[in-house]
Structure 1
Amino acid sequence: MSPLLQVENISKSFVGIKALTDVSMIVKAGEIHALLGENGAGKSTLMKILCGVHRTDAGRILIEGQDCVFARYEDAVKAGVGIVFQEFSLIPYLNAVENIFLGRELRSAFGMLQRGCMRQRSRELLDRLGITIPLDEPVQNLSIAQQQFIEIAKALALDARILILDEPTATLTPTEAEHLFAIMRELRRQGVAMIFISHHLDEIFEICDRITVLRDGGFVGERAVGSTNIDELVEMMVGRKIEKSFPPKPLNPPRDEIALDVVELQLASGDPVNSFSLYKGEILGFAGLVGSGRTETALGIIGAIPTTRKKVRVHGKDAKLSSPSDALLQGIGLLPEDRKGEGLITSSSVRNNMTLNNLGKYKQLHFFIDRKAERDGALDMMKKVKLKANGPESRVDSLSGGNQQKIVIARWLNHHADILFFDEPTRGIDVGAKAEIYQLMRELTERGFSIVMISSELPEIVGMSDRVAVFKQGRIATILEPPQITPEDIMRYATAGETNHNAGIHHDFV
């Protein structure tokens, strides 16, 4: 395989802040090349330079040995560079064909749209990927995986020889991710070079050929997949060994007080009736396949979605949780799976995001907000969650995913919520930030907080949970306790449906 793309000594600064310093990388034709690094390591900046969104301050880009200067995105496209961003750039009310050819529609000599040609070309592109998608359906009605494949088809329609995939599996199920990998292997066979960015290191070893690691905007090293391991990559990324990603669990898990007692919960008529208890100071994992009802159960408890039957006690007292505001009054908070779309106002400041649901705490004269008290409160919360930011007025969208997640946690701590639902708490977060989130969660439980952790990552469930409720098709199949908290036991109940016959009896979960 010959070098198709060469990046030589690239440097880039923004308002005096170094984003990249002297970074080099070689990507060969027909190769899947991983680009690794913590959030803030410079991966996104480098990719935006490669696709013409940013211009370099120093260094050069060569494609097939020829110097390329990308002043804009269209220049990169003409050179054969395509990118699939983590956040899709599709128009939701347009169909697949219209999205694939958006801005470069095929027209006849008389300026008429050649809809038939575009449709045929779209079908050929999707056939090349080995997938079938309804071409006339608005993409907002398609699955996330189907939208992902349309993004790839859109890039290939530009005759991309170099394809950048930024966290493409972040929102895919394991089955969908395997389909994506099959497509990537076929593209590799066709000679397409791919740069693959992922925080899931197991994926790197499954699909990639070589790896380039960045740290703090600088080049750390390059490795062939077959000559390295996860421990070495983690040390290269974070600059230190992470001996244990998961903090130690308590030797004697708490059983003194029930913080949340879900006596019965039925989401819709005909659905299973579930029950469980959450002890004060514990982490209860919600495990199961995607679509098994984990998130829906949490949303039903806090009143975010309707239920047909619900009886809940909070700290021993009956609680009416008809809406999230009711849950908030009871000290129950949710860190949603989509932290950017549902958990944060990313264009606003750290301070605003930390205090927005408890502004009454800072009122003076019944009408005005004491801004000094609000700022001091935000500074205090920043210290408690070890937030890395220039100050409380920093914009949230300037921070890494791990720090954004800490802001959501801080908001609930500021509101004195002591029962927290964490839905996919480390999705899209690098390994170093994951370890910090895990440590923070364990520190919270040591202070008496109670956490329900919903996660699709088995190592996370096993490493963090004091007990695990395993879901299958909307039903809690069993609740596992140590030493039965193993990947094998979790998957057996999640897939084989071996149900604990006492699972429907509330007191057997106490």
Structure 2
Amino acid sequence: MNEPILEMKNISKNFGSVIALKNVNLEVYPGEIRGLIGENGSGKSTISSIAAGMQKASAGEMMFKGKKWEPSSMIDALQNGIGMVVQESGTIAGVTVAENMFLAELVQFKNKFGLISKNKMNQKATEAMKAIGVSNVTGDMNMMTLDFQTRKLVEIAKVIMKNPEILVIDETSTALSQDGREIMYKLIRKFRDNGKAVIFISHDLEEIMEVCDTLTVLRDGTLIRTFQKEEFDADKIRTSMIGRELQGDYYRSDFTPSSQTETALTANNLKYREELKSVDLVLKKGEIVGVGGLSSCGMHALGKALFGGLELEEGEVKTADGCSITNPHIAVNHKIGYVSKDRDTESLCLSASIRDNIAIGGMEKYAVNNFLILNKKESEYVQKQIKDLAIKCSDAEQLTSQLSGGNKQKVVFGKWIGCGSEILILDCPTRGVDIGVKQAMYQLMVKLKEEGKAILLISEELPELIGMSDRIVIMKDGCITGEFMRSETLTDADVISCMI
């Protein structure tokens, strides 16, 4: 490990007037899992995406295996030794697993007549999935039939299949439940043990301290410090990340379950394919109900069903006034907001501005008869959300696609909070956000709870469920298998016992 496999020298990156990276020097060595951590907008994804050919640096140079490194694209980088699994969705809906894997290289499956052999392509994709430990996904499956976690595992298999010298994992664990994470951990440790390098980006401090050999902290586009394994200390790393001590509570400090009795939303006998099997749930005003479980347990389908996003086979979702929620339009009209786990596809229009994404939910606040838009009132409406949620942006006209993961999530929150949602369905709301933004979101949830809002918190993170919920509902195989009230003595082991 004397010679680095990747050297990045004085790398800078500007997006208009926004400085994403400032003269960053980074060296990655073979046989190393290098962690990158920092607040949203610190430059973690930017520096790794430059190495992986996703974008060009504004200044600086790179060396890979002792030679100048200037990949023209992610495909070029992957074919020559650096592969990246991106934070958000990196697959194409509506086509098969195999077509996603081999989109840029179909020529290898042409027969003597110039036709693509789908059988060979499907077989190779199936083998690639089995190679990473996933045996229930075949190459001929349509991506639309797969859940978010499985789509992410397809992305991992696509990169692993090329056997790169450096594997970049950008916030991928947040898309995976515990069993999916174990698959990923096994793969990256195998890479390290085979003398390859891994760049591992995560906001989960406990995870990154467990997985990584070294840890580099970025803040505001600047490299702050690199910790060796023996130097790992949670408090020192947090202080390096945010440049200050965290103030106030992180999770809730009280351990008294909600005593509210007024019902906000009721679900009766919900049935949907194999994902929901006769599910009953009552959500009360001023209550945070957590929903947890392993992958494919049905919790994500439950969130969509409560928002009217699924055509249920049986059952009904009703508001307190007796209205049946059968589609998202009715849900929005009854003050129900939904934050999807797959925010880039289901919660945001990335090609639109911050203004448009926030404003679309609250026309009644600034338009006459939901028709004539009053520009001044609209601007005030949007600016209030940007200010209240501390959305880091150049201005309201900035494209949402240019924001970091945490700031994208704040835009989603702004859309639903701004229009006065009384019921919030939050599916993995802190996925891909840093510790400072997480704390702000948790404090916001407490504030909304105290205002009498009803919150359904779907999460794959047990500390989050235990730390924030008045009541925790555990799902397995489409059914509710257990329920826990808020308690100071409740442990991870208690909750896990109902999951497995």
Q: Same fold (TM over 0.5)?
A: yes
Larger Rg over CA atoms? 1
Gaps of 5+ in 2: none
| Partner-residue secondary structure (3-state), 1:212 | strand
RMSD: 3.4
How many Å apart are 1:194 and its aligned residue? 1.5
How many Å apart are 1:407 and its aligned residue? 2.3
C-alpha separation in 1, matches of 2:252 and 2:152: 38
Matches within 5 A, 1:118-157: 129=132, 132=135, 134-138=138-142, 141=145, 147-148=151-152, 150-155=154-159
How many Å apart are 1:235 and its aligned residue? 1.9
* Residue 426 in structure 1 maps to residue 427 in structure 2: no
Cα separation, partners in 2 of 1:274 and 1:200, compared to 1, 3 Å:
same
C-alpha separation in 2, matches of 1:466 and 1:83: 39
How many Å apart are 1:84 and its aligned residue? 2.4
Equivalent residues of 1:263, 1:313 under 8 A apart: no
| Partner-residue secondary structure (3-state), 2:198 | strand
Which letter maps to 2:232?
T
Counterpart among 384, 392, 399 of residue 395 in structure 1: 399
| Partner-residue secondary structure (3-state), 2:430 | coil
C-alpha separation in 2, matches of 1:192 and 1:7: 17
Which letter maps to 1:7?
M
How many Å apart are 1:238 and its aligned residue? 1.6
| Partner-residue secondary structure (3-state), 2:175 | coil
Cα separation, partners in 2 of 1:129 and 1:293, compared to 1, 3 Å:
closer
1:278 paired residue number:
283
2:101 paired residue number:
99
How many Å apart are 1:425 and its aligned residue? 0.9
1:241 paired residue number:
245
| Partner-residue secondary structure (3-state), 1:381 | helix
**Cα deviation 1:162-187 (Å, max 9, x = unaligned):** 22222232322211221222122222
C-alpha separation in 1, matches of 2:131 and 2:482: 43
Which letter maps to 1:304?
G
| Partner-residue secondary structure (3-state), 1:20 | strand
Equivalent residues of 1:106, 1:113 under 8 A apart: no
C-alpha separation in 2, matches of 1:302 and 1:88: 22
C-alpha separation in 2, matches of 1:258 and 1:181: 44
How many Å apart are 1:275 and its aligned residue? 4.0
Equivalent residues of 2:123, 2:139 under 8 A apart: no
C-alpha separation in 2, matches of 1:139 and 1:263: 29
| Partner-residue secondary structure (3-state), 1:33 | strand
Counterpart among 294, 298, 301 of residue 293 in structure 1: 298
Which letter maps to 2:315?
R
Counterpart among 215, 225, 232 of residue 221 in structure 1: 225
Higher mean alpha-carbon deviation, 37-46 vs 160-169, is at 160-169
Cα separation, partners in 2 of 1:249 and 1:329, compared to 1, 3 Å:
farther
How many Å apart are 1:55 and its aligned residue? 3.2
Which letter maps to 1:6?
E
1:447 paired residue number:
451
| Partner-residue secondary structure (3-state), 2:396 | coil
Which letter maps to 2:166?
I
Cα separation, partners in 2 of 1:485 and 1:280, compared to 1, 3 Å:
farther
How many Å apart are 1:149 and its aligned residue? 5.0
Equivalent residues of 1:35, 1:212 under 8 A apart: yes
C-alpha separation in 2, matches of 1:242 and 1:395: 30
Equivalent residues of 2:288, 2:468 under 8 A apart: yes
C-alpha separation in 2, matches of 1:135 and 1:263: 36
Counterpart among 231, 234, 243 of residue 230 in structure 1: 234
| Partner-residue secondary structure (3-state), 1:62 | strand
C-alpha separation in 2, matches of 1:126 and 1:285: 32
Cα separation, partners in 2 of 1:64 and 1:279, compared to 1, 3 Å:
same
| Partner-residue secondary structure (3-state), 2:499 | helix
Cα separation, partners in 2 of 1:7 and 1:250, compared to 1, 3 Å:
same
2:465 paired residue number:
461
1:308 paired residue number:
314
* Residue 172 in structure 1 maps to residue 176 in structure 2: yes
How many Å apart are 1:490 and its aligned residue? 1.7
How many Å apart are 1:373 and its aligned residue? 1.4
Higher mean alpha-carbon deviation, 346-355 vs 52-61, is at 52-61
C-alpha separation in 1, matches of 2:231 and 2:144: 42
Equivalent residues of 1:468, 1:485 under 8 A apart: no
| Partner-residue secondary structure (3-state), 2:168 | strand
Equivalent residues of 1:130, 1:183 under 8 A apart: no
2:439 paired residue number:
435
Identity of aligned residues (%): 31
How many Å apart are 1:261 and its aligned residue? 5.0
| Partner-residue secondary structure (3-state), 2:398 | coil
Q: What is the number of equivalent residue pairs in this alignment?
A: 493
